[in-house]
Each structure stands twice: as structure tokens, then as C-alpha cells.
Amino acid sequence: VRDGGGIRHDPLPLLPLLGQATSHLGLIATVATTFYPPFLAARLFSTLDHLTKGRVGINLVTATLHQAAQNYGYPQQFEHDLRYEMADEWTRLVTELWDSWEPGAYVADEKSGVLVDHTKIHTIDFEGQFYSSRGPLNVIPGPQRKPVICQAGGSPAGRAFAAKHSEIIIATATSPDAMKEYREDIRQRMIGYGRDPDDAKILFLVSPTVGDTDASARERLDTALAAQAADMDAKLAGMSYVTGKDLSKFDLDEPFDPGQVNGHRSSAEEYTKAKKTLRELVSSNSVSTGVDLVGTPETVADTMEELMDHIGGDGFLIILPVTRRHIAEITDGLAPVLRKRGLIRSEYTGATFRENLLAF
Ligand SMILES: Cc1cc2nc3c(=O)[nH]c(=O)nc-3n(C[C@H](O)[C@H](O)[C@H](O)COP(=O)(O)O)c2cc1C
């Protein structure tokens, strides 16, 4: 293994460290609802909300592979849509725990010596099909009371879950029209769940390639894609992870169709819809965004602006190789151009992650 594919340190202890080193950024870590005991997650994220002074978020996923499930003592991974039913119940339970302290329950009155008003703290007595918990949470609510909830559902079950619970939705779509459709679908679903659609930000995954000239940026991307195509094994391993199928057993030059998968179902469907061979898929941009963000900061900013006008809002999530060069190209190249146009903000007005998220 050359790229350390399976090495994934636990991101949660990193959050307070990042909180110490920054003052405004929202800090999100991923938790797999399928395996994480809900009470522990609720307590942990309340504590992290204190430690980051109200800047924590939780990204809810359901995990992918049978091998992952086996680490937690299950013979195999649960079926894709069932995982979302479990995730829904999990999220309702942790939300009840975060609400088990009413506002004003924490009194801390030195004169009377009263720390908490017990009449404002309640058991939840949650009895679900998959999870149960007595409650209340044994932690004082943090500045946000609950973390910002993030999710990346693409399948119908995933979209329903995201629309019901999420405040940030990470979306992948293969064309500007597909992005618009995705956003409108999620907003409609949110209304169906009695939510204000403006209470969630839908962020489309993009991977810009920024350069001094349009031609040099294009050349860099072409070189990177050629290197990726040459390293077929690494790309196949990545796609095998996403689909949950061993793609080394598939013909590279046949149109690729993995059938229904138990992994990231919507991503697998995008591969099939592309009607490409596995070899062609492997040599195309690994972030299958269907949008071309390649060129000078001005060129990329033009396209981002046009795209956002077409989609209707809310923003992008930039995914890049994590190198100082790539980060500097965004922060010192692209960001100033976007800021000059008023497309990104120049200051934070709120104190908490949620306030800042919803302010722009
Ligand atoms: C950038 C990104 C990172 C993701 N990371 C994880 C992860 O670490 N664990 C996981 O189980 N799923 C992860 N997912 C998968 C999503 O939770 C979800 O399964 C996927 O977007 C497909 O949606 P679907 O399950 O509704 O088909 C990630 C998705 C995206 C877009």
C-alpha cells in the first residue's frame, strides 16, 4: 500500500487542538452512527462544544465496508437503507439527550449554592428499535447546545436523512443541472419535514486547479490526471472502497456497472450513469464534479459565480490534495478574488459555528 489507504487516526482528539490554534473556524469530525454508542457521542460532542467555545460540528456517516463492521463485532455491514433507518433513530436519540437539559437548567448560583435546577433536567427514556437510552445527559450543555450536524447523503434514503437532520449537506453532482436538482430536492424535502430550507447549507464538492495562466493550470491538471491513470491500483482501491466491491475483478475495458452496491450507493450510480469503461473512469478527475474549475483565480472565480447563480446557493466544499501549495493557491490566490467580488465574507460576525454558518 503506497498511499496509506486504510490508515485513519481518530479525528476527535484533534478538534480541541485545532480549536486552540484558531478563533473562528468551525471544526467538524466524522462519526459513524452505525457503531458509535449514541450516549457516548452526545456526551463527547457536548464536551467538545465547551472545549472549542461553540465551534464544533459532527459529520454523520453510516460506514461502508463489511470489514469495518467486523471490527465492531458484526458479521457484516448492515444493508444500505437500513443503516439510514438506524442513523435516523440514532440522531433522534442524541438530539433528545442534547435537549434533556432545558435552557436555564444550569444555574451556578454561588449565593444559594445551587449548581443546576433539577426540575429542568429530564430523563429521555428513549426506547427505539436499535438504540435506547435513559438519560438525561450528564454534561452541562455547550455554547451551541448541540453540534452543527453535517451529512453527505446522495441516495434517496441518504437525502431523506440529510433533509431531516442536517445543517450542512455535502453534495456530489456531475453537472450544474444535477446540482440545481439536488439542492431543490433537498429544500423540498426539508419543507416536508417542517424545516425552513434556509436552515441548511448545501455545499457542492469541487476541486479547483488554480495557476498563473489558464494554460498552465490546465497543463498541471492534465499531468496530475495522467499520473493518476498510471497508478491504476490506487484509484481502483479507492473506487473499491466506495462501492464495497473488489474492482480488480472487473474488466477494465467494458462499460462499468457494479450493480446495486452496499457502499456509497449514489456514488456507484454516478459511475454507472457515466457509461464509461473502468479504465476511462480511473483516468478522469477523481472528484467527479462535472464542473471544470481550471485556470487563473479570475477564471475559476467567474465559473464559481456563474455556477452558484445557476444552482441558487449556498456554497462549495473544496477538496484538494493537502499540500501547502494547494492550500496557498486557494487562500492567497482564489479567495482574495472571491472576496473582492463579495462572494465570500471578510469577517465573522457570530460567536458560534452555527451563527457564522447561517449568517452568510
Ligand atoms: C467527501 C466525502 C467524505 C465521506 N467520508 C465518509 C466516511 O468517512 N465514512 C463513511 O462511511 N462515508 C463517508 N462518505 C459517504 C457518505 O456518508 C455517503 O454514503 C455518500 O455521500 C453517498 O450517499 P448515499 O449513502 O446516500 O448513497 C463521504 C462522502 C463524501 C462526499
Q: How far is the CA of 21 from the centre of ligand 1 (A)?
A: 28
277: Cβ below 6 Å to ligand 1? Answer: no
Query: In the chain, what are the helix, strand and coil shares in percent, each to the nearest 5?
Result: 45, 15, 40
pLDDT digits (tens, 9 = 90+) for 54-67: 999 999 999 999 99
Query: So what's the pLDDT on residue 264?
Result: 86
The residue type at 271? Y
Give me 134's grid cell: 435513559
Say how many CA atoms lie within 13 Å of 318 toward its Cβ. 18
Q: How far is the CA of 302 from the centre of ligand 1 (A)?
A: 29
pLDDT digits (tens, 9 = 90+) for 277-293: 888 887 776 555 668 89
User: Probe ligand 1: pick from 261, 264, 266, 273, max atoms within 8 Å of CB?
Assistant: 264
pLDDT digits (tens, 9 = 90+) for 324-355: 999 999 999 999 999 999 999 999 999 999 99
pLDDT digits (tens, 9 = 90+) for 84-141: 999 999 999 999 999 999 999 999 999 999 999 999 999 999 999 999 999 999 999 9
155: Cβ below 6 Å to ligand 1? Answer: yes
Question: What distance, in Å, lies between the first and last C-alpha atoms of the chain?
Answer: 42
